Amino acid sequence: MFADEHKEQAYARAKVTKINFFAARSDVGFFSSYRSWADLQNQVKAPFVMPLVCVAEAAKHLLDTLKNIGLTMVNLAALDTDTANESIKQACLDLITGVYYTLSAVFDTVHSLVALATRTSITLISRVVGGVLAFGEAVTAPQEERTPSSSY
């Protein structure tokens, strides 16, 4: 769908990535930990940037809808039915695309907030578990490795 590609390009310009629920292990998934500090920063700003991008696109398409309805009325008044037919088709397409962006603003925001919560939880849990395992390995190391040998 053209609108979805356009939205993904706008997200890329804003340096925000939408998390894929069913991503492969090599991709950034919904339950994957953060790979870098920049990854965390992008995830934190996503709930704020995504709705702004979608609302701006929805407003643009609303204005385009109004413009095409106006063109349709002018063309009907001038008895130019072919151009009026094309204008009303474009107005309907712009209206549907505007509704898509409006719904996307809501759902992408909820999606990015849930992704932020899950990815932050997974990252914290993996760091705590990694620290506990490293501590456990250090404590249970053989005695001769931990203390220097003394000879009498």
Question: Into how many domains does the chain fold?
Answer: 1
Does residue 17 register a pLDDT over 60? no
Identify whether 91 is part of a domain.
yes
Identify whether 52 is part of a domain.
yes
Identify whether 17 is part of a domain.
no
Identify whether 114 is part of a domain.
yes
Identify whether 24 is part of a domain.
no
Per residue in 98-121, pLDDT tens?
A: 999 999 999 999 988 998 999 899
Tell which residue, 138, 112, 93, has the closest CA to residue 21. 112
Identify whether 39 is part of a domain.
no
Per residue in 54-95, pLDDT tens?
A: 999 999 999 999 999 999 999 999 988 999 999 999 999 999
Identify whether 51 is part of a domain.
yes
Q: How far is CA 52 from CA 34, 93, 117, 130, in A?
A: 24, 21, 20, 38
- The pLDDT score that the predictor gives to residue 55 is 94
- Dump the DSSP string for the chain: -HHHHHHHHHHHHTT--PPBTT--TTS-BTT----SHHHHHHHHHHHHHHHHHHHHHHHHHHHHHHHHHHHHHHHHHTT-HHHHHHHHHHHHHHHHHHHHHHHHHHHHHHHHHHHHHHHHHHHHHHHHHHHHHHHHHHHTS-HHHHS-----
Does residue 4 register a pLDDT over 70? no
Only one residue has tokens 């204008």, namely 87
Identify whether 148 is part of a domain.
no
**pTM (two decimals):** 0.67
Range of the domain at 99: 44-122
